[in-house]
Structure 1
Amino acid sequence: MGISVAGRTVLITGAAMGMGRLYAERAVREGAAHVVLWDRNAQALEATAADLRALGGSTVHPHALDVSSQEEVTAAAARVETEAGAPDVLINNAGIVRAKYFWEHTPADIDAVMQVNSLAPMQITRAFLPGMIARRTPARILNVASASGTLSVPKMSVYTASKWAMIGWSDSLRLELNQSGNGHIQVTTLIPSYIKTGMFAGARGPLMTPLMEPQYVVDRAWDALLEGKARLQLPWTVPLGSALRGLLPQPVWDVVAGRIFKVYQSMDHFTGREDIR
């Protein structure tokens, strides 16, 4: 059963630009009472907040923080609870990528990717869940994963690991909430292939999988989120690839993925921005 954000509180991480900003615009246009923006880029955050305020109708709360810092997350969550209450809609959108062979990653690379892409969504959600549970009103959580969390991709080992973790945690959380009698909170896991945000500039989508437009993905994800849909995989080749990987013997899948679908070559020409939170 779908819900509306009208009169409610929406919190988005990685909200200063890209898809995070698009989610925020959608929230304002649909009448959210409070739109909370989390991002570490303070300058871009303030610019986005000003643009959203110009749209009118919502109180916009920009908070500059690094979501990989537990201390900063805890402090920011407390401010949100005071200013707007626990969010009715939480969108864990922030993410970063490091595209290189595993042994070329520094320890700092590994920590950053796992912290931002996997641990931060868990800690942020944990900070707000008690309030969302106690309120007993319909609530939604969108966790942004990646098709890389379903298929192995060379030069993406750490990023892929972070998104596999995101998918496993997100769907387990969905089941736990339903099992414990807290089904008023529905969790949606978004699993997209490459998107034209600049984050994956130079990446080449697998066969029949062009880079998607950000607005298209946001619109589809927004609808799935409000409907409480468990999982959204975009485009159609993502669930196909997952199914084939499960059905085919590994040597056969390696040939299909490497030579036919070109999954294993998709990051060979990567030039995108590495830090987007």
Structure 2
Amino acid sequence: MTDTSAGRVPARPTRAAAPGRAARRARRTALLEWIAVHALGVAAALFFVLPFVFVVLTSLMTDQQALTRDLVPSTWQWSNYRAVFDTPGFLTWWRNTLLYAGLGTVLTVVSSVPVAYALAKFRFRGRHLSLMLVISMMMLPPQVIIIPMYLFWAKELGLSGTLWPLIVPMAFGDAFSIFLLRQFLMTIPDEYLDAARVDGCGELRVLLRIVLPMARPGIAAVALFQFFYAWNDYFGPQIYASENPGAWTLSYGLESFKGAHHTDWNLTMAATVLVMAPVIVVFFFAQRAFVEGVTLTGVKG
């Protein structure tokens, strides 16, 4: 008998097999992409979380252990937080920071919304020039104007040693807040505003009754940006309030925990946790409005 199998031509794969292999390759590619994305997400989360964990753990160490390479406290020193609260002036710094951040945020929002509304919805000669002026103010570093501003507030008005030189200018608007709100208001259809005008609403009523309720996400984003900036501001209080410990803020008051020859790192980290905690809590409860506001500001230019 002859072996006829040697002369056989290999059967070609059927058409149904090719789509099957393509589907398997697609599933493998999707799985690899899922693993890569989640691995990068975990790495990014660890990159941001680990420093905070280090600060919290160090804040619960003794003064001697904080100078070692230990990562976990041998004994949990919760009394460090009590020592921070007992630091002379700490509660005053907390009050000053709340005043600076809270009042400054309110003034910034109240003064920036009308300007942003005019730039977004009004058609007047010089509108684009006004917008370019706002953008140019965003690009101007604060260090460039700090000397004339200090001479005006401290020398002419005698407000050195207070936080008012930082709070009062917020009543005249903020370039970044105006631009961000303007971008958000551009996403509101003009038909809503025209319908309100047809019904007899003036511009102020249109702004209060129509625009503000629809612009809540954008206003929330601007308010959070301003609150976080003022809460963490170190440069401003250093310039205007450094000579008066009664006007210090928390960010500048942290400097007092560093001595000339020795630094209590456990108390410094405990104070740092107390400074960060309100910001984390505020963002946790307002993150949805914050993300929505920031996202929608880039929909329309």
TM-score w.r.t. the length of structure 2 is 0.23
* Pair member with larger Rg: 2
Which has a greater percent of helix? 2
Which has a greater percent of strand? 1
